[in-house]
Chain A
Amino acid sequence: MAEMNTDNSQSAGIDLSQFYQVFFEEAGENLDNMERLLLGLDITQADDEELNAIFRCAHSIKGGAATFGFSDVAELTHQMETLLDKLRRHELAPNASMVDVLLASGDALKAQLARHQGNGGDAIDTTDLLANVRALVAGQAPTAVAAAPAVVAQVAAAAPAKGKRLVELRVGPLSNLAQADELRDLFKEIEGLGTIEDLPSFPDQANTRRFKLETASAESDLLDLFTFHVSREEVVFLPWSEGGVQVDPDKGLFEGGAAAAHEEPGYGFFDNAPGAPLSGVASAASASAEVVQASSAAAKPAAKADKPAAGGLESSTIRVSVEKVDQLINLVGELVITQAMLAQNSRGLDPVLYQQLVSGLTDLDRNTRDLQEAVMSIRMIPMSTVFSRFPRMLRDLANKLGKKVELVMQGESTELDKGLVEKITDPLTHLVRNSCDHGVEMPADRLARGKPEVGTITLAASHQGGSIVIEVRDDGRGLNREKLISKAREKGIDAPDTMSDSDCWNLIFAPGFSTADEVTDVSGRGVGMDVVKRNITSLGGTVEIDSAEGYGMRVSVRLPLTLAIMDGMSVGVGEEVYILPLSSVVESFQVNEEMVKTIGGSGRVVEVREEYMPVIELEKVFGVPRFDWEHTSGIMVVVEAEGGRVALLVDELLGQQQVVVKNLESNYRKVNDVSGATIMGDGRVALILDVGSLVRRSRH
C-alpha cells in the first residue's frame, strides 16, 4: 500500500487543489438548485422525485467536500443528507420548520464555501444548525432557527496566537521564484501581519512556492498587499491541515462497511463476482449468470457503435473566464473599427478597376458583423440568473411582513449581457421589495376588497426590438393619484391637478420621495425610486410606470441588450466630432437669433413650442478651438435624460451609426460630461457624451 501522504491536498502525487475551483462552482450550483427545490416544495404532498433531487444536491456536495478535505462542509451536508434521506424514504414527513432549517443550512454552507474560496472571514458556527438538523432527524422540533449562521471567532485547537489562524499560501506558477521572497519581506516590514514560513514545493509544481502563514488578516486584505509583487491569479489560499487527511475515510463521518469477503478498509469485492481478484474467470461466468436471473432482455444493440471513442470529456459546455471573453470582444471591436476604416478609405475606388477588392470588402463587412454578433452572444446570460434570487427573498420578506405572496416568473430564458445582468440586480431587487412591501396588501385587507388572499407579483422578461423589457407587476393597492400629488407639493415639486397619469406616476422617481406612511425596515429607507431610476438610466435604460388604484402596478424597465455597442448620433463642433446616444436624442432643429434668450445674465434658453429649455454650447463645455470666427452655428439637438431636457448647440449633424463603446476611465481617466469614447471610421477618436451629466449641469 502506498504511503498516506501528510498533506490532504497532495495525494498520490496528485494535487487535489486543482479541482477545488470546479468543486466550488459545482457546489454553488447544487446549493442554488437545492434552494430552488426547497422553495418550490409542496409540504403537504411532496413529490418523490423532488425529494430525491434535493437529497442528491446535499449528497453531491458532501461527496466532493469529503474528498477534497472541506470537513466542515462535509459534516453539515452529512447531517442534511441524513434528514433528506429520511424524507425521501417517507420515514419522516416534511414540514415547514424542516424547510427553514434546510434553507438556513444552505446559507451556512454558502458562507463556509466562500470562506474556503479565500474570501477570508472567521469560522462559521454551525453548532445550532447541526443541533437543529439532528433534532429534526430524531423527529423533534428544532430549538430555534437562526436566521443567519452566527459567525464566531475561530477557536483554534491547534493554538495559533489569539485571533490568528493558519493558512497555506501558494504562489505560482512564477517565472522567477525569487518574486515570492518579496512576500516574505512584507511580513517582516508590516508589524502585526503575522508570520510566514517556507514550505517545500511539490515536485510536479516546481514553479509554485508554498508558505505557511499565521495571520489574523482577512485573505482579501493579504491579497491586496501581495498584488504589489505578484499577480492576483498566482495567489491561492488553502485551509491549513496539519499532518494528514482531514476526513479519514475509514472512520468518523461515515459508517464503515463490514459485510463481504476480502474486506479491506474502505473497499471490498464480492465473492465470485466478475472481475474480482482471487476468483477465477471461470467462476465469474457462473456468478454473473446467476445474477442475470435469466432475464429475457438480450443486450440492446449498440446504437452508437460508430461513435468515436474519444478518451476525453464529452461535454456540451465549457467554462471560460470573463476576461478571456472580454478580450475577445475587445479584439472584435478593433476589427470592426479596422473594417470601417477600410470601407471608408475604399469608397473612392473605381468598382470596375478594383472589383475583387470591393467584393472582398463587402464580404469582410458581412463577416465582421456576424462575428461581432456571435462574440457578443457569448456574454449573454439568461435572466434566470437574476430571477432565481427572488423566490427566496420574497418568501423571507412576506413572512416578515405577514403577507401572502406568490411569485410568478416569465421569460427567465431571455438573455442579457452579463455586465447588465449584474447591474440590474439591485434595481430589480428594490422594485420587487417595493411591490411586496408597499404594493401587496395584508391578507385580511385583500379579502375585504374581494381579492384573493394571496397576492401575486410577476417578474417578466422579454425581447422587444433591440432591447430587453423587464416588468415587475403586482396586484396590490396601486398608486393613489391624490396622495402622490399632495406629497409632491409638500416636497415643493410642481404638480398641477391637470397633470397626466403617467407624469403623476413619475413623481415617485423624484429624489427623496416616499409615499409610505411609515418607513419600514424593508424598503423606504430613503434609498428610493430615484436611485433605481438613476441606476437604470446610467445603463442606457428607461423606466415606465403604469398603475390602477386598487388593482396594482406595473414597472417596466427597458434596457439595451449590451453596453459594448451603442446606436449613436454624431455631431460636429468646430473640428471635433461628438457622439450622442441615439436613445436620448429627442429632436433637432435650426434656430434663429430671436428664439434664443439670455436670462439672469448667465444662462441662455431656447423657446420651443412655448416651452423654454436651457441651451448648452458644446464648444464652451469642451473648449473647442474655433478658427472660423465668422461661423455662427445654428443647429440645436434636444436631448433628454433624468427627466430633464437640454438643447445642445452644435455646428452640424453628421449622421447615425453604431459605435463600439470604449471605456475612457480605464484607458485614460474620468472626463466630466463624457461617458466613453469610440473610434470613428476614419480612425479619429470621438467622445461619447454623458447626457445625464449635461442635464445636471444645466440645473446648476
Chain B
Amino acid sequence: MHSILAVDDSASMRQMVSFTLKSAGYNVVEAVDGQDAWEKAGGRSFDLVLTDQNMPRMDGISLTKKLRENPQFKATPILILTTESSDQMKMAGRSAGATGWLVKPFDPNKLLEVIKKVIR
C-alpha cells in the first residue's frame, strides 16, 4: 500500500485530504505543519508528500527544501497545495525541489487524479 504524508495546519483540510486518500486505498500520515512533518518524515519513507504552503513554524517550501536534503526523499514526489499560483510561488517551489503544485480549492477527484500521475 502506498504511503502519503499529508501536511496542513487546517484540521478540516487535513481531514478532507486524509479521508479522500484513505478512501482511495492509500495509507496516510498526517502532520499539522512543516516542523511536525519533518519530525514524522524521519526514519521512514513515503511515496508522496502533499503539503500546504502557508503554515506556522515551517511552511511548505521550507519543508520541501529540508526533505530534499535527505537522501531518503531525493526522488519522492512532493506536491505543494496552495491558493497562490503566482509565478513567484512557482519559482520558489521549483527551486526548493517540489514536484508540482495543486491550486486550492480543489475537488477530491482532482486530488486523486493528480496523485495517480505521480504515484505508480
Contact = CB atoms under 8 A, between A and B. Distances in A.
Interface of A: 1-2, 4-5, 11-14, 16, 18-19, 22-23, 25-26, 53, 55-56, 59-60, 62-64, 66-68, 74, 245, 247, 249, 254-257, 259-260, 262, 266-270, 273-277, 281, 284-285, 287-288, 291-292, 295, 297-300, 302-307, 309-315
A219 B31 CA distance: 37
A580 to B, nearest CB: 47
Nearest to A18: B19
22 contacts: A2-B112, A19-B12, A25-B11, A60-B10, A60-B54, A64-B12, A66-B105, A249-B107, A254-B83, A255-B86, A257-B90, A259-B90, A260-B90, A266-B110, A270-B98, A273-B100, A274-B75, A287-B97, A299-B69, A300-B70, A311-B27, A311-B28
A543 to B, nearest CB: 40
A11 B10 contact: no
Main secondary structure of the interface of B (DSSP, over half): mixed
B68 A291 contact: yes
Contact of B9 (A60, A268, A269, A306): A60
Interface string B8-22: 011111111011100
Ordered nearest first, which 10 A-B pairs have the shortest CB separation? A275-B77, A305-B43, A257-B85, A302-B42, A269-B100, A299-B70, A66-B105, A23-B12, A302-B43, A67-B105
A528 B99 CA distance: 65
Interface residues of B, number: 68
A310 B55 CA distance: 23
Given A59-B83, A288-B75, A305-B42, A274 B99 contact: yes
Main secondary structure of the interface of A (DSSP, over half): loop
B108 to A, nearest CB: 4
Given A56-B54, A269-B117, 13 more contacts: A14-B108, A55-B54, A59-B83, A64-B12, A66-B105, A266-B110, A270-B94, A274-B77, A297-B69, A299-B71, A300-B42, A307-B43, A309-B44
A275 B13 contact: no
A392 to B, nearest CB: 23
Nearest to A204: B23
Contacts of B74: 274, 285, 288
B85 A255 contact: yes
B105 A249 contact: yes
B20 to A, nearest CB: 6
B51 to A, nearest CB: 13
Interface in B85-109: 85-87, 90, 93-109
Contacts of A262: 100
Contacts of A298: 69
B103 A291 contact: no
Contact of B94 (A66, A247, A249, A273): A273
A12 B68 contact: no
Contacts of B83: 59, 62-63, 66, 254
Contact of B110 (A14, A255, A267, A300): A267
Contacts of B9: 56, 60
B58 interface: no
B68 A273 contact: no
Given A249-B110, A254-B83, A257-B86, A267 B101 contact: yes
